């Protein structure tokens, strides 16, 4: 499971997370289904919103994994 998906489940859904971040739910959907990661500028806030249940390192790992996939394909 990617870290952003774990965070969404812990927080209570895409809409709840989007409201906490001050963005539209569609952005969170894109992170989950298109990008497979949260934008870097939201990582600390997301980790805090999950009370550390999803760490900054886990969220950054999504970026590293996606970067590796792009360069090995």
DSSP secondary structure letter of residue 53: S
Mean pLDDT of 42-67: 93
Range with the poorest average pLDDT among 14-18, 48-52, 63-67, 69-73: 69-73
Instruction: Report residue 12 as tokens.
Output: 């209570």
Residue 50 three-state SS:
coil
pLDDT for 32-43, tens place per residue?
Answer: 999 999 999 999
- Asked whether the whole model's pTM tops 0.85, one would answer yes
Tokens in use for 71? 């360069």
Confidence class for position 69, pLDDT limits 50, 70, 90: low
Which CATH topology does 3-72 take?
A: 434 Repressor (Amino-terminal Domain) (1.10.260)
């Amino acid at each position: 499971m990617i870290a952003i998906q774990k965070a969404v489940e812990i927080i209570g859904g895409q809409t709840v997370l989007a409201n906490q971040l001050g963005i539209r739910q569609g952005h969170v959907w894109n992170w989950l289904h298109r990008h497979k990661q949260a934008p870097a500028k939201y990582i600390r806030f997301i980790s805090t919103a999950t009370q550390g249940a999803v760490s900054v390192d886990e969220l950054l790992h999504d970026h590293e994994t996606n970067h590796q996939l792009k360069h090995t394909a």
